[in-house]
Structure 1
Amino acid sequence: MNLPLITVDHISVKFLNNQLFSNLNFKFTQGQNWAITGKSGSGKSVLLQAIAGNIGVNGGSIIYHFMDDVHKQELSGDALLTFHRFIAFAGAKHHFKTLSNTSDFYYQQRYNSSDSENTLTVREYLQSVKVNEHKTPYWTFDKTVAALNLSALCDKQTIKLSNGETKRLMIAAALLKNPIILLFDNPLTGLDVETRKSFNVLLNEISASGISIIMATSTFELPDVVTNVAILDNGSISQNLTRQEFEASEHSSGEKVVVDINALKQLLNTSATNHNYRQIVSMADVFIKYGDNVILNKVNWLINHGERWALLGPNGAGKSTLLSLINGDNPQAYANNIVLFDKKRGTGESIWDIKSKIGFVSPELYQYFPTDNSCLQVIESGFYDTLGLFRPSIKSRADLALNWMKALEIDQYARHLLKNIPASAQRLCLLARALIKNPALLIFDEPCQGLDNHQQQHFKSVVDAICNISNVTLIYVTHYQHEIPDSVDKVLRLDKGEVVS
């Protein structure tokens, strides 16, 4: 008989001034690996945070049965030993520190060599992880680095990592702790196809090493290691199933996605500008190097006005760096032969001139975007390309922001602070911010991260509708083929900094 590890006993959790859970029950026993799934905003991440002890419960209790065995071992005679030491959590956002032990990062820092040097390397970050002493560590530094394919990145500053590389580093740090319980918040998000396949294998080894796993994930991404599935809905676990009982297709939204085309036409006409460019992007033999590392090697790319491109490639291929040259965030653009909006870089245009023509969103922007503005203010800031609204709101623009929120089905959060809404709604706010000024070029870098199935399908339909009724140019980055809008008909594929067919 397998013994219980954790019992969630009739807990109530208040999160962001909302009573998210009331009287929720959940039991986790040895030999089980759980997937917690449900719609965006259902509380998957909050439940993991509560189990990790990062969020308090205001009713009921969480019982950590595994601590009985820990105390029997009398580890180091530590009277203050708590369950926190034996639970590792790999969340959606990183919490890297500078060499001065602060978190004072800014969005463009990774592209500015002098500033990015003030961060730990991958090796230093992993060596700072405190390893538990309840048993001989199975996951050593060398084993973990090899398992997460981080060997070649050990001397790279953490701030310079791609989104997928950062995800692998966070997983490695959690694993190095050699916990009893390992909590993952959407661990496959941001990982390329091959890494997802290898991670599936890695999860089996993690489980075999004696670590039990609980993960929040999509119904369509259940790794083989999962033995049980809990479905969250309306503040409670609506279904508790074994892997064999669960069928992902039965839990998709199944609803028809409806987009109000007339409303979108009005939104686009309201903020219309005359886009008469011939070439949106022209790159010739672009070469980017940091130290001894070549990031982009002789990249050629021509994007004509009105074209819709997918930019594809594995983690670390150079996609984010390539986009930073277009979006005005990378100073190395001046050392290369790059034409943007029919004008060569370095011939008098400012970064703000470039940004005014682009609507942009990325995982890195989400990571660093300040969250103390209201959602309406965040979206209105898209007119000024600032990370937040630093001037008085203009009513006509605030009204337009609200209408974009309605178009993306998030208008109920209009007056809320960005930090007080679900992560999926935060991401949709940043997408509305990219759309609000009707730019000549839209750059969507993994825009569907953290969105549930309905939100993904709805956003994809909105993008296709915008492309059908306007002459906008689009660059779309994703690791999932099904996320690519139907309007995309051109592909640039990168691998190791080079264009591949």
Structure 2
Amino acid sequence: MNNLLISYRNVSIRQYNSLVFEGLDFSLEKGQNWALVGKSGSGKSTFLDFIMGKASMARGEAHFPYFDRHIQEHHQDDPLFNRYKLMTQVSARHEFRNLSNTSDFYYQQRFNSCDSEDADTVATYLSTIKVVNASGAWTIQRVTERLSLTHLLDKELIKLSNGETKRLMLGAALMKNPLLLLLDNPLNGLDVAARQDFSALISEISGSGISIIMATPSTEIPDAITHVAVLENGKMISQCPANEFKPDSFYTGEQKQTNTEELKQLLSVTPSVVYDTIIGMENVSIKYGEKQILDQVNWQVREGERWALTGHNGAGKSTLLSLINGDNPQAFANKITLFDQRKGSGESIWEIKKKIGYVSPEFFQYFPMESTCLQVIESGFDDTLGLFRVSVKSRAETSLRWMKLLHISEFASELIRNVPVSIQRICMLARAMVKNPSLLILDEPCLGLDFERQEQFKNLIDEICGMSDLTLIYVSHYQHEMPASIKFTLKLEQGRVV
């Protein structure tokens, strides 16, 4: 009992006015590290939110003896200090705000030099972290060195890549030196080198006296994890020591089949236009201040080609894609051809966006969460972040057909913020596909999807490529996520093609 951090008995959890867990029993002792595994939508993120106080307990018993004793011993004179001050959570979405603290960042802000200056640098952000335990092992120096943040200290938060943002969020959490660290799929977005180092990092965190609970794929459980809990449909169906856990024991391998005839009809809703050159880049260079982001990039993509775009975190992949999707104003200062037309020769950004379907972690990060899933998908017809006009019946019907094809139609009327992350990701794919684009850009589209959803997703992309002349650009740090239809690769390193 002296080392018991948390104890839940017969607990029911309520989030967004819905009961998402019932009859939950779970306990955590000091020195234990738990992995939460399960299919997409099984409740892993909700359980982490509950521990952090972001979801309420409808019934049951909860005890926090170790936390309570720590507060009595160290913070007994501070009436505002509570157990949640001794926990930190790294979630799927960051909560960075601009310098004036009046609004959140917006999607294109990172590519506009004036607006991006309304953002803290990494160094400034880390200096504002409120440290709970000043004598803890994770100092700002150790964090910046261990998580490879030193070279990013002068970089604005808005300009960080998805993987760089993940490292910063983890570093900020560690600087607080909490008793308990909650991680929601921390490997998402990290490049190969960072993922390979992650298990050692978790061991160091545990060795410093911090207990860990992390949601993670069953195949990516760090060595320092001592126990594994399997979640399914809002229930914790099993708990065991990590050395007894069988990673694939709860996966059936079954996949929901795609309605091929319906897919053909959806792909023919909008007549396709034939192009020769989808993307043409000649010695493209992008620079922010003294920082060279892209350096003399040459790239030709013909209609119907399927490309993998690879490279380490911060290699320049997102910036390269922003030039194509019309989000980066520096595109006009470079020789770029899109859909057989030279950039800057009279076309509008919206004319370009009509021909492109786009999914990315940054897009997911900044998408408004107050729309229904159906509205999110319908907004793809207008290329807007949310539906800002009255719904059009024919477009809504087409959007719902895509939802049925992807087996998510039961979420049509749900607010996207209330559905599992995996459903949010699939909605973003449907939003990209709903207008039958000539070019589909998928930047790490499988983040947050379990193995079965990933396989289903890959098969769908391959079926679409087999039925159409769709041009594809696919970004992933995982080779097994790449669809079989990909035949070409462009690799970036420090902004250069290698």
Equivalent in the alignment of 1:408 = 406
Q: How does 1:253-402 map to 2 (within 5 A)?
A: 253-271=252-270, 273-402=271-400
Q: Corresponding residue for 1:482?
A: 480
Deviations 1:276-316 (A, max 9, x none): 10000000111000011100001111000000000011110
Cα distance in structure 1, aligned partners of 2:214 and 2:405: 31
Q: How does 1:134-145 map to 2 (within 5 A)?
A: 136-145=135-144
Contact 2:15–2:56 (Cα < 8 Å) also in 1: no
Counterparts of residues 134-213 of structure 1 (less than 5 Å): 136-213=135-212
Cα deviation, residue 371, structure 1: 1.8
More deviation, 255-264/92-101: 255-264
Whether contact under 8 Å (1:99, 1:118) holds in the other structure is yes
Counterpart of 1:297, as a letter, is: D
Partner of 2:421: 423
1:51 is matched with: 51
Equivalent residues of 1:16, 1:421 under 8 A apart: no
Check whether the contact 2:454–2:481 (CA below 8 A) recurs between aligned residues: yes
Map 1:433-448 onto structure 2 (within 5 A). 433-448=431-446
Q: Please give the alpha-carbon distance, in whole angstroms, between the structure 2 residues aligned to 1:374 and 1:488.
A: 33
Q: Comparing 175-184 with 236-245, which one deviates more in the overlay?
A: 236-245
Alignment check: 8 A CA contact 2:287 2:294 kept: yes
* Structure 2 match to 1:239: 238
- Taking the aligned partners of 1:355 and 1:345, their CA distance within structure 2 comes to 13
- C-alpha deviation, 1:16, in angstroms: 2.6
Residue 249 of structure 1: CA displacement?
Answer: 2.2
Inter-partner Cα distance in structure 1 for 2:401 and 2:467:
17
Question: Could you tell me how far apart the structure 2 residues matched to 1:359 and 1:136 are?
Answer: 49
Give the aligned residue type for 1:284: E
Percent identical among aligned pairs is: 53
Structure 1 Cα separation of the partners of residues 449 and 487 of structure 2: 24
How far did residue 31 of structure 1 move?
A: 2.1
1:248 corresponds to 2:232 = no
Q: Contact 1:259–1:462 (CA<8 Å) still a contact in 2?
A: yes
> What CA distance in whole angstroms lies between the structure 2 residues aligned with 1:17 and 1:487?
43
Structure 2 unmatched runs, 5+: none
Letter in 2 for 1:54: K
- Alpha-carbon shift at residue 30 of structure 1 (Å): 2.0
Counterpart in 1 of 2:64?
A: 64
Letter in 2 for 1:419: R
C-alpha displacement at 1:381, in angstroms?
1.1
Gaps of 5+ in 1: none
Opposite residue 185 of structure 2, the aligned amino acid is N
CA distance in 1, matches of 2:247, 2:317: 31
Aligned counterparts, 1:33-112, within 5 A: 33-75=33-75, 77-112=77-112
CA distance in 2, matches of 1:319, 1:48: 31
Cα distance in 2 for partners of 1:37, 1:16 equals 23
* Equivalent position SS for 2:248: helix
User: 2:132 matched to which residue of 1?
Assistant: 132
User: What letter corresponds to residue 37 of structure 2 in structure 1?
Assistant: T
Q: Take 1:443 and 1:263, find their aligned partners in 2: how far apart are those partners?
A: 22
Pick which of 30-39 and 9-18 moved more: 9-18
How many residue pairs are counted as aligned between the two chains? 498
Q: Deviations over 1:128-174 (max 9, x none)?
A: 111113x6121000000111100000011101100000011100010
Please give the alpha-carbon distance, in whole angstroms, between the structure 1 residues aligned to 2:282 and 2:51: 52
Task: Supply the distance in 2 between the matched residues of 1:104 and 1:96 (Cα, whole angstroms).
Answer: 7
What secondary structure, in the 3-state scheme, does the structure 2 residue paired with 1:248 have? coil
Aligned equivalent of 2:121: 121
Amino acid at match of 1:296: L
Q: Could you report, residue by residue, the CA deviation over 1:402-426 in whole angstroms, capped at 9, with x for unpaired residues?
A: 1101111111111122222112111
Q: Conserved in 2, the CA contact under 8 Å of 1:11 and 1:59?
A: yes
Alpha-carbon shift at residue 80 of structure 1 (Å): 3.2
Looking at structure 2, the residues matched to 450 and 327 of structure 1 have their Cα atoms a distance apart, in angstroms, of: 24
Residue equivalent to 2:222: 223
State the shift of 1:2 in Å: 7.5
* TM-score normalised over the length of structure 1: 0.97
Q: Distance in 1 between matches of 2:469 and 2:296?
A: 29
Residue 61 of structure 2 aligns to a residue whose secondary structure is strand
Deviations along 1:232-263, whole A, 9 cap, x unmatched? 11322101011111111223231145222111
**SS of equivalent to 1:378:** helix
Please tell me the residue identity of whatever aligns with 2:366. Answer: Y
Q: 1:358 to 1:225 in 2, by over 3 A?
A: same
Report the alpha carbon displacement of residue 76 of structure 1 after superposing the two structures with TM: 6.9
User: Does structure 1 residue 495 correspond to structure 2 residue 493?
Assistant: yes
- Specify the SS of the correspondent of 1:88: strand
- Is the CA contact (8 Å cut-off) linking 2:367 and 2:385 kept in structure 1? yes
Letter in 1 for 2:274: N
RMSD: 1.3
Kept in 2: contact 1:32–1:227 (CA 8 A): yes
Contact 2:14 2:55 survives alignment (8 Å): no
Q: Residues of 1 paired with 2:223 and 2:450: CA distance?
A: 21
Cα distance in structure 1, aligned partners of 2:476 and 2:299: 18
Name the residue aligned to 1:3: 3
Residues 122, 153 of structure 1: 8 Å contact kept: yes
AA paired with 2:217? S
